[in-house]
Amino acid sequence: MQEINFDEAVEQILAKDSRFARDAYTFVREALDFEIKRQVELVTSGGAVEQETRLYDPETRRTRSMRSKEEAHDYRYFPEPDLVPLVVSDEWRDRLGAAMPELPSTKRARFIEEYGLREYDAEVLTQTRALSEYFEIVAAGSGDARSAANWVMGDLAGELKAAGKEIAESPVSARHLGELVALINKGEISGKLAKDVFAKMFTSGLAPQAIIEREGLKQISDVGALEKVVDQVLAANPKQVEQYKSGKIAVVGFLVGQVMKATRGQANPAAVNDILKGRLQ
């Protein structure tokens, strides 16, 4: 049976430019919105929703009770005589339940408990089964679920949206993204450098390590090499050096940035900070 999209069906009716159809559509929407709010407030305040027929007043934009709703026996409902009763056993129901995939609500709770994610992040990452499975592979490969979530919801989601692709069509495999996050955590590449590597991963589909080796993007952690670059940056920025020594320690961020710029983002940020602070004492 073909599914019917409510909004599309209404649009077809409205296309005839019927004022009655347009009013009916508007009033049904307003009545539903009012009833949803009314029933939620009623239940949360300890009340119970009565079985009744209600009318909608378009002038007040409220519904009101019309009559109570009868029970099934009042309508003279009776079993279909040509159909035998269907008896569902507990064993059959349990077997079906065990065969079902993990439901979104259960998965959200597990993501919060197991990975320490925020409720919002867990909500986003369980929007589809494909997305949640992708995230779990990234989390396992990186060893850092929170960073994995940030990359999947941030950089990857942004690139996919721009390219008009779904998660199943991602040029960056979950395994490769997990490897990229792991390289950052190991200190082998900086976060800034990882952004450049990721962009190349998205266009080529290659693994991060392959791109790093091909482009010569390996992070510079050699103290001697970094000290030379730091000394050059300090010599080129005497004003900032004096500001730091006069108490404006925030200027060290500018100096770190200059070192990163001089090394094309390949310098180890932690090492650069240590060297700078030692030189500026």
Residues 209 and 263 occupy one common structural domain: no
Domains: count for the chain: 3
User: What are the structure tokens assigned to 213, written together?
Assistant: 């080796």
d(CA 254, CA 256) in angstroms, rounded, equals: 5
Q: Give residue 1's pLDDT band: very low, low, confident or very high (50, 70, 90).
A: very low
pTM equals 0.58
Residue 239 confidence class, pLDDT cut points 50, 70, 90: confident
10 and 57 fall within a common domain: yes
Shared-domain flag, residues 17 and 50: yes
Listing DSSP states for 42-87 in one string gives HHHTT-----EEEEEETTTTEEEEEEEPPPGGGGT----TTSPPP-
- Sign of the C-alpha dihedral computed for residues 36, 37, 38 and 42 taken in this order: positive
> Is position 10 within any domain?
yes
Domain membership of residue 153 as a residue range: 104-215
What was the pLDDT predicted at 4?
46
Task: Kindly report the backbone phi and psi dihedral angles of residue 55, in degrees, each rounded to the nearest multiple of 5, phi listed first.
Answer: -100, 155
- 155-196 pLDDT tens trace: 999 999 999 999 999 999 999 999 999 999 887 888 888 999
**172 DSSP assignment:** S
Residue 171 and residue 240 in one domain: no
Angle at 7 between CA 5 and CA 9, to 5 degrees: 70
CA atoms within 13 A on the CB side of 198: 27
pLDDT at 10: 57
d(CA 129, CA 140): 17
Q: Which of 163, 190, 160 is nearest to 174 (CA)?
A: 160
pLDDT digits (tens, 9 = 90+) for 37-55: 999 999 999 999 888 889 9
- Structural domain contains residue 127: yes
Residues 138 and 211 in one domain: yes
Boundary-marking domain end, from 47, 70, 93 = 70
Q: Is the pLDDT of residue 252 over 50?
A: yes
Comparing 74-78, 117-121, 153-157, the range with the smallest average pLDDT is 74-78
Averaged pLDDT score across all residues of the chain:
85
Do residue 118 and residue 204 come from a single domain? yes
Q: Is residue 99 in some structural domain?
A: no
- Of 54, 70, 86, the residue that ends a domain is 70
Which alpha helices (DSSP H) does the chain contain, by range?
Answer: 6-14, 19-44, 90-99, 104-115, 119-125, 129-142, 145-151, 157-163, 174-185, 191-204, 208-215, 223-236, 238-245, 252-262, 269-279
pLDDT (mean) for 87-107: 91
Calculate the dihedral angle through the C-alpha atoms of 46, 49, 50, 53, rounding to the nearest 10 degrees. 150
Per the model's pLDDT, the better-predicted residue between 90 and 251 turns out to be: 90
**Whether residue 175 is found in the same domain as residue 120:** yes
Q: Is the pLDDT of residue 20 over 80?
A: no
In the chain, the percentage of residues whose pLDDT exceeds 70 is 90
CA 111 distance to own-chain centroid? 12
Higher per-residue confidence, 119 vs 238: 119
Indicate if 136 and 190 belong to the same structural domain: yes
Specify the pLDDT at position 2: 44
Please indicate, yes or no, if residue 87 is contained in any of the structural domains: no
Three-class SS of residue 258?
helix
Q: Is the pLDDT of residue 72 over 70?
A: no
Clarify whether residues 172 and 259 are in a common domain: no
